[in-house]
Structures are given as structure tokens and as C-alpha cells.
């Protein structure tokens, strides 16, 4: 039995190595096709890679941008941001802005959206488990040191520690919300938003191309989302591309 387990384990490692080698070969061929200007061929090869990591999504966005499909470019770059480093995250945000400009669409954000963007940028390098640990550490340190800091008038340290705890709490909240209630991107010119899950309900508004919406519920092919302009509404699942 032990020998069988060892053989199976070795076979799995071997197959994983072969798969990783094949993926790397396809990725390099796609890169070569992109550099040579064969954008369609490069895109097809990137699309064949599974699972798609940050680099593949990043390059797929570049391909779509070169082909003039700006909504798809933004979608792939948004997906790439989820696992990007801080430097790549900022680069992708600049690319996304350029795609908005190419479409003549405003990319300006509200103060709340800007804060959320910065939180998401920080969260891209932390797992939710690590954020939970950091928040608990900050909270425990604050609780332990609070009496001493008040007694010794260490108000500067108290304020800094409180800000750090609040920041970790906000990052954890944003990370949790992004995982539980994912974002979607409107990739069509406009989509109809209804008061309920069906076209029999009243038409509330229209969501425009490249608008970000947060999904809160699914029901029979319909999604309950929040639209900044009008609040909650329902859209058809096929009309939204999930990030």
C-alpha cells in the first residue's frame, strides 16, 4: 500500500511538472507572437492557458488594447490587479485610465471610490488571513498599552497605534467585502437595470460601459447589484463580466 501511494505521488509530481512545462512553453510562444505583432495569435495562446495567472491576464489586456477592444482590455487588467504587486498595480491602473480615455469615458472617482482603490491596492499583497492576524495584533497591543499610554500621557503613540488599528480594520473590511461581494464590469454600451429579478419589473436606470458594479445576490440568471447613481437594482447575469 505504501509503495502504491509513493508511485501515485511521484506520478502526480511528474504530471504537474509536464503541465507546468507546457504552460511555460505556450506563454513564451505567446510572448514571441505578441512581440512579432501577431496579436490575434498571441491572444489565442494566452486564452488557452489554465489557470490564468497575473502575467497572463496582464498580457491578455495588452492584446485586447492593441486590437482596440478597450472594454475587454480593462476587464483583463482589473482581473490582473487582484494578484499584482504594488508597482504592477499602479501600472495597470494607468493602463486602465488610458483605455477609459480612448473610449472618451471619464475615469474620475469619488472620494469613497478613491479610498477603496487605495485599500484594494494595499490588499493586493495581503491575504485575508494575514490581515486578520495584523488587525488582532494591533488591537491586542492597543488594549494592553492603553492604560499605560494614558497614565504616562503618551498620546502621540496612542493616536498612531489607534490609526494603525483602524487602518488594518478598514483593509480587512474591504478585503472581506471584495471576496463576499465581487465586482463586475459592464462591457456593453449600456445595460438595463430593473427593480427586481425580471424584465416585468420597472426599469430603474441604465448602466453604462466600463461601469463597476458590486454583486450582492444571484437569482435565476439575474444579479442584484448596487449602482452608484441609483442604489440597488437587478441586471441579467449575461450582461456583466465578473472581475
Instruction: Residue 238: give its domain's CATH number.
Output: 2.30.30.40
Name the region of 33 (left: φ>0; alpha: ψ -120 to 50; beta: rest). Answer: alpha
- Report whether 168 contacts 194 (CB < 8 A): no
Q: Would you say 84 and 77 are in contact if contact means Cβ atoms under 8 Å apart? A: no
* 107 CB-contact burial (10 Å; exposed 0-12 / middle 13-18 / buried 19+): middle
> Does one domain contain both 126 and 93?
no
Which of 73, 102, 131 represents a domain boundary (last residue)? 102
Measured at the CA of 205, the angle between CA 195 and CA 108, to 5 degrees, comes to 130
Render pLDDT for 178-189 as a digit per residue (tens, 0 to 9): 888 888 888 788
196 occurs within a structural domain: yes
To the question of pTM greater than 0.85 for the whole model, the response is no
Domain assignment present for residue 109? The answer is no
What percent of the chain is predicted at pLDDT more than 90? Answer: 30
Range from 149-158, 178-187, 196-205 carrying the lowest mean pLDDT:
149-158
Please report whether residue 117 resides in a domain.
Answer: no
Range of the domain at 33: 2-102
Q: What's the average model confidence in pLDDT over 116-138?
A: 78
Bridge partners of 218, per DSSP, are: 223
If asked whether residues 173 and 225 sit together in one domain, one would say: no
Return the residue matching grid coordinates 482603490: 117
Q: 187 and 218, same structural domain? A: yes
Domain tally, the chain: 3
CA distance linking residue 90 with residue 71, whole number of Å: 19
- Residue ending a domain, among 102, 134, 157, is 102
**Nine-digit cell at 166?**
483602524
> What gap in Å lies between CA 185 and CA 174, rounded to an integer?
18
pLDDT band at 66 (very low <50, low <70, confident <90, very high): very high
Q: What is the pLDDT of residue 189?
A: 82
User: What is the grid cell recorded at 102?
Assistant: 480612448
Percent of the chain beyond pLDDT 70?
84
Instruction: Provide the pLDDT for residue 106.
Output: 65
Answer yes or no: is pLDDT of 226 > 70.
yes
State the pairing for strand pair 190-194/203-208.
antiparallel
Pair (200, 153) in one structural domain: no
The per-residue pLDDT for 170 is 85
Alpha-carbon gap, residue 47 to 51, rounded angstroms: 10
> Domain boundary residue among 72, 102, 132?
102
Do 171 and 193 share a domain, yes or no?
Answer: no
- Per the prediction, the chain carries an average pLDDT of 82
Amino acid at each position: 500500500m505504501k509503495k502504491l501511494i509513493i508511485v501515485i505521488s511521484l506520478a502526480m509530481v511528474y504530471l504537474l511538472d509536464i503541465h507546468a512545462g507546457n504552460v511555460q512553453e505556450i506563454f513564451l510562444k505567446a510572448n514571441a507572437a505578441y512581440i512579432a505583432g501577431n496579436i490575434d495569435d498571441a491572444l489565442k495562446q494566452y486564452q488557452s492557458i489554465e489557470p490564468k495567472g497575473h502575467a497572463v491576464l496582464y498580457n491578455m489586456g495588452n492584446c485586447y488594447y492593441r486590437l482596440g477592444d478597450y472594454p475587454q482590455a480593462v476587464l483583463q487588467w482589473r482581473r490582473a490587479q487582484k494578484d499584482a504587486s504594488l508597482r504592477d498595480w499602479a501600472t495597470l491602473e494607468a493602463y486602465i485610465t488610458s483605455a477609459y480615455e480612448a473610449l472618451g469615458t471619464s475615469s474620475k472617482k469619488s472620494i469613497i471610490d478613491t479610498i477603496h482603490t487605495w485599500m484594494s491596492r494595499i490588499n493586493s499583497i495581503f491575504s485575508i488571513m494575514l490581515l486578520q492576524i495584523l488587525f488582532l495584533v494591533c488591537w491586542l497591543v492597543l488594549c494592553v498599552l492603553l492604560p499605560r499610554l494614558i497614565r504616562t500621557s503618551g498620546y502621540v503613540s496612542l493616536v498612531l497605534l489607534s490609526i494603525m488599528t483602524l487602518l488594518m480594520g478598514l483593509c480587512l473590511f474591504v478585503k472581506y467585502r471584495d471576496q463576499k461581494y465581487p465586482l463586475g464590469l459592464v462591457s456593453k454600451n449600456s445595460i438595463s437595470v430593473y427593480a427586481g429579478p425580471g424584465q416585468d419589473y420597472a426599469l430603474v436606470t441604465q448602466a453604462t460601459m466600463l461601469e463597476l458594479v458590486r454583486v450582492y445576490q444571484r437569482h435565476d440568471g439575474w444579479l442584484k447589484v448596487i449602482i452608484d447613481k441609483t442604489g440597488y437594482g437587478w441586471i441579467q447575469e449575461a450582461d456583466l463580466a465578473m472581475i
